[in-house]
Amino acid sequence: MEVTINNIRKEFDRFPALNDVSLKIASGELIALLGPSGSGKTTLLRLIAGLDFPTAGKIFFGEEDASHHSVQERNVGFVFQHYALFRHMTVAENIGFGLKVRPASTRPAKAEIRRRVLELLDMVQLGGLEKRYPNQLSGGQRQRVALARAMAIEPRILLLDEPFGALDAKVRKELRRWLREFHDRTGHTTVFVTHDQEEALELADRVVVMSQGRIEQVGSADDVYDRPGSPFVFSFIGESSQLPVEVKEGAVLFQGQPIGISEPAGGVGELFFRPEDVALVDAPDALFGKVTACRRLAGTRIAEIDIANDGHAPYHVEIEVPLHAPIELGSEARFRPTRWKVFRK
Amino acid sequence: MTDTAAVASARWRLKRPSIIPGFGLTLGFSLVYLSLIILIPIAGLFWRSAALGWSGFFAVLTDERTLRALYVSFGTAFVAALVNVVFGVITAWMLTRYDFPGRRLIDAMVDLPFALPTAVAGIALTALYAPQGWIGSLFMPFRIAFTPLGIVVALIFIGLPFVVRTVQPVMEEIDREVEEAAATLGANRFQTVSRVILPGLAPAILTGFALAFARGVGEYGSVIFIAGNIPYVSEIAPLLIVIKLEEFNYAGATAIATIMLLISFAMLFVINLIQAWSRRRYGNA
């Protein structure tokens, strides 16, 4: 099911939680809404589900305007961070709930419901646990029951709100891989919310980066990591350093001194680069400063450097250096970014 | 000496080692307290009723008037507790789910039956529900006061706070997400309430029922005013005990008390078992 979100605005007590958000979700896509807390990602998910209604704007399911449809009418599968299982029901009763509450005309027969429940249990790899109660299951198992329960109603779209947020790191990784396989097998249009960028980048076809109620960038993992569209995306995704610079006649100046890299357009801006995208150089026009800390990180070394020209306040940056490089505590390091981006003010 | 104590404690322990001190102190205090206030008086009760011997005991037990009084006491308490479950759950729902002016006032009013001298409640209810009273006259020729129905009315008044106060905190903790989950699965409001919320409240409702029922069985002050106290019809067992006492028939009085105690204990024990069972199933409900 293709979902189109047109100029959505949502206010809670006059405080805008979402501000003019538009997004097109293709059928069968796996999309991540990524952002810090308070960025509006969960609000957007709840608006798609129909658990909240927009202040302005429209939501289309395919060609159909679903903006004012109730959550029951929308037929969406929703998985909550804390599972929200019905604890007085067995696993089988939980999964069958959505079928049992259908009006008599569309409700499958008892035997058919049972067959579907067992089939879904197998699909989430929990066969044989149908008689357990939720409190007899581990967190990862509960979340898979919640997913099976959401899938039972054959939803038009599957929505997951921080689905792995309450699980420990190991289970989270397993379940993440498993969800990707599950999606590839079933082909459901899926939107999930996360604040964990690793999760979003690994799992999603496209990542929607959100901040302060707005969409900052939409793109593949490569897009948002290698070609960040805004200062926020650059600093939010991955590690990065940030320096105030000025561009004059094609050269980038830091604290008035050229640093050996060039930019086409002029003006004042912010230079962003990643720790791994630097090269140590032996030239006067470079960034330089004293190494304040040095630590080993797997196959490389991270050097923390306070860079400053004489008489200016120092800026703290982190760069990755080869193991054999002559960098040690207290020494001076000179380097240039090899890949960078300047966002003009 | 400390050595032998250590050896002894290594062999047999009343409790498993714990870093929380004070087990001995609290156990000792609780036992002394329970003994003085509950166990010794109840043991005395059995002791006095034993003076009757088995045949005397059975004579009191099988006396038609005793049986009718027990039936009235347990029957009205049961009906009143059932009514209170419905009434109390609705009241708790209103107090937890909606915010309206005067909510705190009503919340405080729920506790009034706890604080009011029960005789005052009895007199007020009698005045209202008597055949000439405001409410009672509306129902004429159907009589409320001076019948078992009047007893039920009084016991509803007495028992309401028990249900409200046990259900309310559990209801407040119902996860909003569980209701939303039911809605996303297509359940309408009625299905969400009847299939998801109420079953989740069952253990709390059961506790409230047990408390209201137990209180109703033992209630005396409010009931004797509204009941009319007609032997075989609206005479409650506690009143029969008082009557026996006034006749200086102490053994007879304690015999009835013993029977009440046994029946109450059996019922509360069963309710406790049901609760333990549901708690095991649903987790810490």
Token pair recorded at residue A102:
């259908």
Q: How is domain B41-282 classified at the CATH fold level?
A: MetI-like fold (1.10.3720)
DSSP collapsed to 3 states, chain A: CCEEEEEEEEEECCEEEEEEEEEEECCCCEEEEECCCCCCHHHHHHHHHCCCCCCEEEEEECCEECCCCCHHHHCEEEECCCCCCCCCCCHHHHHHHHHHCCCCCCCCCHHHHHHHHHHHHHHCCCCCCCCCCHHHCCHHHHHHHHHHHHHHCCCCEEEEECCCCCCCHHHHHHHHHHHHHHHHHHCCCEEEEECCHHHHHHHCCEEEEEECCEEEEEECHHHHHHCCCCHHHHHHCCCCEEEEEEEECCEEEECCEEEEEECCCCEEEEEEECCCCEEECCCCCCEEEEEEEEEEECCEEEEEEEECCCCCCCEEEEEEECCCCCCCCCCEEEEEECCCEEEEC
The percentage of chain A sitting over the pLDDT mark of 70, rounded to a whole number, equals 100
Q: Is the pLDDT of residue B1 over 70?
A: no
The domain of A277 spans 241-344
Domain borders along chain B are 41-282
Of A184, A209, A235, the residue at which a domain comes to its end is A235
Nearest chain A Cα distance for residue B206, angstroms: 15
| Chain A nearest C-alpha distance from B207 (Å) | 17
pLDDT at A206 over 90: yes
pLDDT for the residue numbered B15:
65
Q: Cβ of B183 and A84 within 8 Å?
A: no
CB < 8 Å to A133, chain B: 281-283
- Using the predicted structure, report yes or no on whether residue B12 has a pLDDT greater than 90: no
Give me the mean pLDDT over the B208-234 stretch: 90
- The lowest-confidence range among A97-101, A191-195, B142-146, B175-179 is B142-146
For A55-92, the pLDDT digits (tens) are 999 999 999 999 989 999 999 999 998 999 998 899 99
Average pLDDT of the segment spanning A326-339: 89
The residue of chain A with its CA nearest to that of B182 is: A98
Mean pLDDT of chain B: 87
Q: Mean pLDDT over residues B170-195, rounded?
A: 92
**A309 pLDDT above the threshold of 80:** no
A12 interfacial to chain B (CB closer than 8 Å): no
**Residue in A49, A88, A89 nearest the CB of B184:** A49
pLDDT at A200 over 60: yes
Least CB–CB distance from B283: residue in A51, A82, A87: A87
Among chain A residues, the shortest Cα distance to B188 is held by A72
pLDDT of residue B285: 40
Lowest pLDDT segment from A257-261, A336-340, B9-13, B144-148: B9-13
Number of domains composing chain A: 2
CB pair distance less than 8 Å for B180 and A84: yes
Question: Among the ranges A28-32, A122-126, A259-263, B278-282, which has the highest mean pLDDT value?
Answer: A28-32
Query: Residue A320 sits in a domain of what CATH number?
Result: 2.40.50.140
pLDDT(A14) > 70 = yes
Q: What is the mean pLDDT of residues A335-342?
A: 92
Residues A324 and A265 in one domain: yes
Is residue B182 less than 8 Å (CB to CB) from chain A? yes
Q: Considering only CB atoms, which chain B residues are within 8 Å of A84?
A: 175, 177-178, 180-181
Please indicate whether, in this complex, the C-beta atoms of A133 and B182 are within 8 angstroms of each other. no
First to last CA, chain A: 40
**Chosen domain end from A200, A235, A270:** A235
Give yes or no for A78 touching B (CB within 8 A).
yes
Question: What is the rounded average pLDDT for all residues in chain A?
Answer: 91
Q: Per-residue pLDDT for A17 more than 50?
A: yes
Last residue of a domain, one of A203, A235, A267: A235
Domain CATH code at residue A128: 3.40.50.300
Q: Is the ipTM of this complex over 0.95?
A: no
Give yes or no for residue A327 having a pLDDT over 90. no
Same domain, A145 and A183: yes
